[in-house]
Amino acid sequence: MALLEVDDLSVTFARRGQRTVHAVDGVSFSVDAGEVVGLVGESGCGKSVTSLAIMGLLPRQPGLRVGGRAVFDGTDLLQLDDRSRRDIRGRDVAMIFQDPLSSLNPVIPIGLQVTEVLTRHRGMKGEAAQKEAADLLDRVGIPDPRRRLKEYPHQLSGGMRQRALIAMAVACQPRLLIADEPTTALDVTIQAQILELLKELVRDSGTALVMITHDLGVVAGMCDTINVLYAGRVVETARRRPLFREPRHPYTVGLLGSVPRLDAGRGERLNPIPGSVRDVLAWPDGCAFAPRCTRRIDECVGAPPELTLTYDGRSYRCVNPPPVPGTPPPAATDAGAPEPATGGPVPAPREEEKP
């Protein structure tokens, strides 16, 4: 069994007088020790809500419903009481948050926050802890670390706060680390340094890393397995190489087509996906990607596409996937082979009942 098994996770936000938001809808994935698993998708597709739900850190608000399981080393994290959850969070599971200010204590110097982690998790004290803390800040690219240890979070830039948070997460040597956009706010040289540090953690401590990002360059350089999220659902899961070589979901194809490539020919254009992530308030019947999909056919409307598992262990949710290069076209039936959609009516969104 994998170190973390997320099974049919769902998160809905029901608000009085408003429609229900299905932020996460039946997400399943797993992570082994020493493995890097990516959660990838455009803004608003449910990456942060997925990770916060696993960590038990969603804001407690009326109408919040969390379903499914997130089993870490045999324990369902979603069933823990607050105390056990705090214990496991400090000891075994750590998270790097997308918003660093919310997770650093504003009235405690950075140094004390890092050394506290070192004392609690690695029994280090005094000068040894100070030295290790300075070393960690140095490794995440914070200049003059001894001085910075004495400073408060508000005295650091946003990028430095993010790096201090990464230093604290690495200091724990957790068995599972969830990193939510850890390098988005950083410049490329620092980004490379941080990614190297995370790779070291995985290699040397066997940490299982869930890497949340919308940066396909980071995915290509880091992840062993990738889950592509769209509107709260995993639409494709594959190992890195097959995903980049032969994406099976049109959304993945669109994501890959919208980033620049070094091997692109002169004059070759980027192909951004038209439209934006569907508003999850207006949840359609059928495939949520249909309104933006150039391969849409009649079968895409009605019910969400079932999961297709392939012989090489990948999976996707699409009734009309792009052909794998070298695969002959399917034989035409009486009704003729399906034509890719070129427009046509977009399925009407299903209105949720008001609570």
Ligand X SMILES: Nc1ncnc2c1ncn2[C@@H]1O[C@H](COP(=O)(O)OP(=O)(O)OP(=O)(O)O)[C@@H](O)[C@H]1O
Nearer to ligand SF4, 113 or 237 (CB): 237
DSSP characters over 62-127: TTEEEEEEEEETTEEGGG--HHHHHHHHHHTEEEE-SSGGGGS-TTS-HHHHHHHHHHHHH---HH
Could you tell me which of 183, 258, 187, 252 has the C-alpha nearest to residue 218?
A: 183
157 neighbors 188 (Cβ within 8 angstroms): no
Shortest separation between residue 87's beta carbon and ligand X, angstroms: 25
Tokens encoding 88: 């496991």
Q: Residue 176 pairs with which residues in a beta bridge?
A: 93, 208
x-marked contacts with ligand SF4 along 242-261 as a string, rule CB under 6 A: -------xx-----------
Nearer to ligand SF4, 41 or 305 (CB): 305
Q: CB under 6 A: which stretch of 50-58, 149-157, 261-269, 291-299 binds ligand SF4?
A: 291-299
The binder of 13, among Mg ion, ligand SF4, ligand X, none, by C-beta within 5 to 8 A per type, is ligand X
Total residues binding ligand SF4 (CB under 6 A): 13
Q: CB under 6 A: which stretch of 27-35, 83-91, 269-277, 288-296 binds ligand SF4?
A: 288-296
Q: Which of 139, 161, 295, 314 binds ligand SF4 (CB under 6 A)?
A: 295
Q: In what order do the strands lie in the sheet with 64-72?
A: 21-31, 4-13, 64-72, 75-76
Shortest separation between residue 300's beta carbon and ligand SF4, angstroms: 3
Residues lying near ligand X in the complex (CB under 6 A) are found at 13, 21, 23, 41, 43-49, 59, 61, 98, 214, 280
Backbone phi, psi, residue 180, to 5°: -95, 105
Residue 135 CB neighbours (<10 A): 12
Nearer to ligand X, 41 or 159 (CB): 41
Residue 181 CB neighbours (<10 A): 19
Shortest separation between residue 181's beta carbon and ligand X, angstroms: 6
Q: Which of 287, 303, 324, 334 binds ligand SF4 (CB under 6 A)?
A: 287
Residues 112, 273: Cα–Cα separation, whole Å? 46
Tokens encoding 191: 């980004």
Tokens encoding 265: 């020919």
Q: How far is CA 193 from the centre of its chain?
A: 20
**Is residue 48 near Mg ion by the rule CB under 5 A?**
yes
Reduce the DSSP state of residue 335 to 3 states and report it.
coil
Q: Which of 13, 29, 97, 289 binds ligand SF4 (CB under 6 A)?
A: 289
The binder of 318, among ligand SF4, Mg ion, ligand X, none, by C-beta within 5 to 8 A per type, is ligand SF4
Residues 354, 351: Cα–Cα separation, whole Å? 9
**Is residue 50 near Mg ion by the rule CB under 5 A?**
no
Shortest separation between residue 127's beta carbon and ligand SF4, angstroms: 58
Residues 301, 215: Cα–Cα separation, whole Å? 30
Q: Which of 47, 248, 296, 314 binds ligand SF4 (CB under 6 A)?
A: 296
Q: Which of 319, 323, 339, 346 binds ligand SF4 (CB under 6 A)?
A: 319
Shortest separation between residue 43's beta carbon and ligand X, angstroms: 3
Residues 5, 290: Cα–Cα separation, whole Å? 29
The binder of 316, among Mg ion, ligand SF4, ligand X, none, by C-beta within 5 to 8 A per type, is none
Nearer to Mg ion, 133 or 255 (CB): 255
Strand bridging mode 64-72 / 75-76: antiparallel
180 neighbors 40 (Cβ within 8 angstroms): no
Nearer to Mg ion, 40 or 136 (CB): 40
Site residues for ligand SF4 per CB under 6 A: 249-250, 287, 289-290, 293, 295-296, 300, 305, 318-320
